[in-house]
């Protein structure tokens, strides 16, 4: 079977999930890649067949999205040309992880595809939302890569077609320890902004992973590290706590390893607000923003016991097997998942 896998490159999460699922997916056939966006620092499992700048995220230094910079990327004619250049009609199965160009190509050419990823889970009304829903945010989650067939991943299985997170193979056989440090991944804030707030917390040690870091260095109780998958996984595995943005993969890994967790969603990113709502329902603390109370909030959090409910996790091979079985059943019966 010839498979086309289209992945969003607006962050490390989509690529991380692809890397973990790649061996299991490869058992079903030959896979070609499409990637759009350039915010990820992780390597791809193979050279992509099609690669586009796409719609990358830009952040203000205060932790919010820079919408002005992001809107400048939108060039409708160029996006249409890119979409038409993707030869989706040559594949037996097209899998899209929130990648809009391949989804558009499929719609233009009448080729069915499966939206498989975290964002696909928001086709369910049972996936948690914040108290204040955003019409634009809901529309983006539902229609950015709209498909009539969806396979979702979320912190809990809110529907039969929503599965629990993909956890790296390195963690399944790991024996987590507590070496006392807090692993920090808050890419929405500049490194200087983070240092300003972390420097006063001298009773605690921090390992901060940040795109601004070009060379690993130690600054007192703060260790600054370049984004690196293996190094980051080791840091999370051996940490006392994880302080991260409101993404999906890193909180999932912290939950799996039973690590103390607190999230700080990116301001204005609705998906992260939804993730925060889901994590809060499990008992995970959420901080709205970094401000003058940051140090006090972190101190309090680090002194408390873990109080969240751990989801039921399934190994990646089984997750992929279940997903492919759902896709096959849907195709054979003519039914659709998550209309």
Residue 64: predicted pLDDT: 55
80-85, long-range: CB within 8 Å, 24+ apart, which pairs?
A: 80/104, 82/36, 82/50, 82/52, 83/108, 84/108, 85/50
40 and 9 in contact (C-beta within 8 Å)?
yes
What is the tens place of the pLDDT at every residue in 248-267?
999 999 999 999 999 999 98
Number of neighbours of residue 308 by Cβ within 10 angstroms: 17
The C-alpha atoms of residue 167 and residue 164 are separated, in whole angstroms, by: 9
Residue 308: pLDDT over 80: yes
Q: Return the sign of the alpha-carbon dihedral for residues 70, 110, 137, 187.
A: negative
In the sheet that 222-225 helps form, which strands lie side by side, from edge to edge? 217-219, 222-225, 205-209, 181-185, 241-244, 260-263
The C-alpha atoms of residue 141 and residue 126 are separated, in whole angstroms, by: 14
What is the pLDDT of the chain when averaged over all its residues? Answer: 90
The C-alpha atoms of residue 202 and residue 323 are separated, in whole angstroms, by: 46
Phi and psi at residue 221, in whole multiples of 5°? -85, 5
- Of 305, 285, 309, the closest CA to residue 297 belongs to 285
Out of 3-7, 254-258, 266-270, 322-326, pick the least confident. 266-270
Q: How far is CA 284 from CA 86, 209, 279, in A?
A: 41, 21, 5
- Of 30, 5, 3, 29, the closest CA to residue 19 belongs to 5
Residue 62: predicted pLDDT: 52
What is the tens place of the pLDDT at every residue in 72-102?
666 778 889 999 999 999 999 999 999 999 9
Residue 202: pLDDT over 80: yes
- Of 196, 96, 186, the closest CA to residue 143 belongs to 96
Residue 210: pLDDT over 90: yes
| Local confidence band at 43 (pLDDT 50, 70, 90 cut-offs) | confident
Residue 164: pLDDT over 90: yes
Residue 70: pLDDT over 60: no
Q: Which residues make Cβ contacts (< 8 Å) with residue 101, sequence separation at least 6? A: 6, 34, 36, 52, 54, 79, 82, 83, 86
Residue 34: pLDDT over 70: yes
Residue 295: pLDDT over 60: yes
| DSSP-assigned beta bridge partners for residue 184 | 208, 243
Domains of the chain (ranges; CATH) run 2-167+314-333 (3.40.50), 169-303 (3.40.50.2000)
Beta-sheet strands, E only, within the chain: 2-8, 30-36, 50-52, 93-97, 114-117, 149-153, 162-163, 181-185, 205-209, 217-219, 222-225, 241-244, 260-263
Residue 338: predicted pLDDT: 45
| Local confidence band at 140 (pLDDT 50, 70, 90 cut-offs) | confident
What is the tens place of the pLDDT at every residue in 117-130?
999 999 999 999 99
Residue 72: predicted pLDDT: 67
| Local confidence band at 332 (pLDDT 50, 70, 90 cut-offs) | very low
Please give the DSSP secondary-structure letter assigned to residue 286.
B
Residue 10: predicted pLDDT: 77
162 and 174 in contact (C-beta within 8 Å)?
no
């Amino acid at each position: 079977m010839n498979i086309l896998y289209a992945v969003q490159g607006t962050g490390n999460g989509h690529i991380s999930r692809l890397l973990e699922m790649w061996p299991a997916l490869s058992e079903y056939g030959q896979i070609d890649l499409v990637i759009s966006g350039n915010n990820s620092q992780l390597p791809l499992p193979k050279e992509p067949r099609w690669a586009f700048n796409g719609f990358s995220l830009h952040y203000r230094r205060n932790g919010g999205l820079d919408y002005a910079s992001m809107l400048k990327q939108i060039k409708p004619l160029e996006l249409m040309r890119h979409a038409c250049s993707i030869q989706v009609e040559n594949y037996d199965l097209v899998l899209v992880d929130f990648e809009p160009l391949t989804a558009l190509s499929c719609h233009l050419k009448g080729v069915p595809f499966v939206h498989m990823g975290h964002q696909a889970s928001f086709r369910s009304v049972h996936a948690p939302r914040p108290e204040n829903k955003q019409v634009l945010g809901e529309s983006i989650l539902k229609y950015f890569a709209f498909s009539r067939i969806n396979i979702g991943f979320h912190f809990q299985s809110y529907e039969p077609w929503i599965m629990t997170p993909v956890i790296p193979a390195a963690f399944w056989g790991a024996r987590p320890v507590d070496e006392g440090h807090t692993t920090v991944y808050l890419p929405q804030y500049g490194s200087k902004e983070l240092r300003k707030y972390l420097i006063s917390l001298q009773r605690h040690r921090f390992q901060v992973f940040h795109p601004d870091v070009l060379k690993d260095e130690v600054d007192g109780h703060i260790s600054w590290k370049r984004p690196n998958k293996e190094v980051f996984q080791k840091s999370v595995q051996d940490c006392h706590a994880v302080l991260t943005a409101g993404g999906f993969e890193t909180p999932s890994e912290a939950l799996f390893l039973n690590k103390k967790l607190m999230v700080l969603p990116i301001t204005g990113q609705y998906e992260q607000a939804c993730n925060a709502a889901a994590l809060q329902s499990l008992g995970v603390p959420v901080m709205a923003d970094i401000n003058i109370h940051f140090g006090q909030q972190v101190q309090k959090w680090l002194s408390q016991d873990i109080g969240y409910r751990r989801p039921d996790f399934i190994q990646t091979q089984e997750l992929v097997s279940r997903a492919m079985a759902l896709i096959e059943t849907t195709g054979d019966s003519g039914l659709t998942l998550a209309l």
